[in-house]
Amino acid sequence: KQRVGEDLNIVQFTMSSWLSKVVFSIQMGGQLLLEAVGSEIDAILEPVLSRAVIKRGRSSQIIRIGGEEVDYDPKFQLYLQSKLPNPHYRPEISAQCTIINFIVTLEGLEDQILAMVVNVEKPELEQQKQELVRRQNEFKMTLLQLEDDLLTQLSAADPSTILDNMPLIEGLEKTKQTSAEISEQVRIAIETEEKINLSREMYRSVAAEGAMLFFVIIQLCIIEHMYQYSLDSFVRFLFKAIDKAEQSHDMAERTSALNRSIRMVIFRWVNRGLFERHKLIFCSMLTFRLFSLGQLPEEFNPSFFSFLMRGPLKTDVENPISEWLPNVAWFGVQKLIELEGFEMFAQNMEKEAPNRFKDWFNEMAPEESKLPLDWKRLDLPGSTFQKLLVLRCLRPDRMASALGDWIRVTLPNGRDFMDCDGSSSFFSILSNSFEDSTSVTPICFILSAGADPVKEVEALGRKLIGLQANVNYHNIAMGQGQDVVAMAKLDLGHKDGHWVMLQNIHLMPRWCIELEKKLDSFAAEGSHLTFRVFLSADPSKGIPIGILERSIKLTNEPPQGLVANLRRAFALFNKEDFEERDQKVKAILFGLCHFHALMLERRKFGPLGYNMMYPFSAGDLR
């Protein structure tokens, strides 16, 4: 866009007139940008991509598109742009196009974050660094210019009189002297740069932490399309974490505080937008990544980790204790004994203590009990990961609970991560997230059964802006014919600083493309400071990645576990108001919260709990 300017035609497949614009650009020799391309490219573009041009006469060229012959101008250029993080195209597409991957690398991002952190912590260092880079580039350009001038003078000189050519000799001496001076300046600059780099490297661990976190969160879209995160959004929360970190004059303490703050702030930002069933996965991804980098107390063993992930089986053996142990568990044990340190495990189970292993196997929560014989050592610090391998074989139904317990103990401040926002009400979470929003950063509610964020949004609006429906707050339920209304309210809110709530945008996937463009134009123009956009949608691949990446995502689901649900229920009541009640009312409130938590937990039993999945919400408790 910067190179071509206003002459660049921009279209998307979702536009009704996209093909006519492509044809027009081909005929006029224009430059065309096709945005938001998916993993599949419309077959109608195949002749264009394969350059299937037919010559007519001496100078005329045509190409067939959509069954019609179109004049082809050789000046025509086509650019395809995709927002997919890792698209896979057919081999013929890869051969026909020049593919450029603009995805940042881990090393590149680490260097970028290092520059950002140093610029905040030690701005003078980063300024010196940038100035040195600029000067070194100038030195290189000057040396190249001197070399070119020298070669020009030598090539123009008369070979027969070159020794008597005083201007040439003086020029050579001057060039030599200038070159020596520049070389000395380059040497000094290199020494200075080394000193600056030494100071900057003290923040390398912080940069590595940030880069690691970003590459963890961008993998979440594999689990759910709605989990999209842009680098710009990540950087905003990175700076927030730097500001929140504890101050210290000791460099080691400061970098440690920065690492803790960045990890927690980024985790909380992402975790609030995940469904409950995916939160353990995210926490595990983070923990396993730190584990593989050697940043946890236990030693990382690739063979152990591979076993936990794959759960291999050896099925060509008989199960000698089949009266109490399922065959699939025994098959897993036969692969487990191939790992170092587990060679005697099967023999211990079969011959030396079968009854004790049976008792352990039949425990309601075996992850909380010690294994028989010498295997109780797996509960000692430094060996707890190995106990997960045993549970993977014998009691895979308890893996989620065991993995959560392991993270709580192993990950620094692991309990804070596993119980993140567990005792906070949705209103308090929304209030905190609102502080991170801006006029160009929407808040997107990813809906689940029974979730209705409208009441919380309106309550927040009454608290912050004196919300009045259809005055400074506009709530539109998207559906047929509502796109025009929504655009009008967005323009009004953008101009006057109103709040706009767009519900169920997943019902209008084509219009979402227009919504993304509208938000882009607002960001370019600059909106009223109090303008806010709230979106709600069911999980859908029809929602553009651009909207999801720029949004702060929130979910509103009951947490997992009776205690967590009880805490969340209590958080719905004002603490001061609760304390003012008499003892009987307090007892009634506790009973209601406990009953509500029980009803939510009962749902995990499926048809054994209820004949259908009832969406017990906070509104029911109120």
Kindly state whether residues 253 and 331 are assigned to the same domain. Answer: no
Taking residue 397's Cβ as centre, other Cβ atoms within 10 Å add up to 9
Same domain, 118 and 207: yes
Pair 243, 200 in one domain: yes
> What pTM value is reported for the model?
0.81
Asked if residue 538 and residue 462 are part of one domain, the reply reads yes
- Distance between CA 570 and CA 573 in Å, rounded? 6
Q: Extract long-range pairs of 160-169: CB within 8 Å, 24+ residues apart.
A: none
3-state SS class at 420:
coil
In Å, how far from its chain's centre is CA 31?
A: 33
In terms of domains, do 126 and 261 share one? Answer: yes
Question: Does the residue 385 lie in any domain?
Answer: yes
Write out pLDDT tens, residues 305-352.
Answer: 999 999 888 888 899 999 999 999 999 999 999 999 999 999 999 999
The helix (H) or strand (E) run that includes residue 68 is strand 68-71
Same-domain status, 250 and 180: yes
DSSP conformation letters of 452-504: -THHHHHHHHHHHT---BTTTEEEEE--TTHHHHHHHHHHHHHHHT-EEEEE-
> Residue 340 has what pLDDT?
93
153 and 269 within one domain: yes
Two structure tokens written together for 429: 């979470």
Domain-located, residue 101? no
Q: 604 in a domain, yes or no?
A: yes
- Given 96, 116, 132, the domain boundary residue is 96
Structural domain ending residue among the three candidates 38, 71, 96: 96
CA 553 distance to own-chain centroid: 11
Q: Which helix (H) or strand (E) holds 444?
A: strand 443-446
Domain that holds residue 497: 434-555
What whole-number distance in Å separates Cα of residue 101 and Cα of residue 94? Answer: 12
The reply to whether 589 and 522 lie within a common domain is no
Answer yes or no: are the C-beta atoms of 225 and 539 closer than 8 Å: yes
**Residue 2 maps to a domain:** no
Domain shared by 569 and 542, yes or no: no
Q: What is the pLDDT of residue 240?
A: 95
In a domain, 425, yes or no: no
Q: In this predicted structure, what is the pLDDT of residue 472?
A: 92
Instruction: For residues 42 and 45, give the distance between their C-alpha atoms in angstroms, rounded to a whole number.
Output: 6
Residues with Cβ within 8 Å of 471's Cβ and at least 6 positions away in sequence, in order, are: none
Please check whether residue 321 is in contact with residue 349, taking contact to mean a CB–CB distance below 8 angstroms. Answer: yes
Averaged confidence pLDDT in the chain:
88
Do 414 and 449 have their domain in common?
no
Q: Residue 545's domain is classified under what CATH number?
A: 3.40.50.300
Instruction: For the chain, list residues with pLDDT below 70.
Output: 1-5, 162-163
In a domain, 20, yes or no: yes
Give bridge partners of residue 553 from the DSSP assignment: 444
CA distances from 63 to 34, 72, 98, 183, 584 (A): 19, 6, 21, 57, 84
Q: Are 297 and 410 in contact (CB under 8 A)?
A: yes
Q: Is residue 428 part of a domain?
A: no
Q: Which of 513, 533, 516, 512 is nearest to 524 (CA)?
A: 516
> Do 484 and 591 belong to one domain?
no
> Within 13 Å of residue 310, how many CA atoms lie on the same side as its CB?
11
Bridge-based pairing state of the strands 443-446 and 473-477: unpaired
CA pair distance 315, 334, nearest whole angstrom: 9
pLDDT digits (tens, 9 = 90+) for 197-252: 888 889 999 999 999 999 999 999 999 999 999 999 999 999 999 999 999 889 89
Distance in angstroms (rounded) separating the CA atoms of residues 281 and 476: 34
The pLDDT value recorded for residue 1 is 64
619 within 8 A of 452, measured Cβ to Cβ: yes
Among 510, 537, 555, give the residue marking a domain's end. Answer: 555
Identify whether residues 35 and 130 lie together within a single domain: no
Number of domains in the chain: 5
Residue 1 domain-assigned (yes or no): no
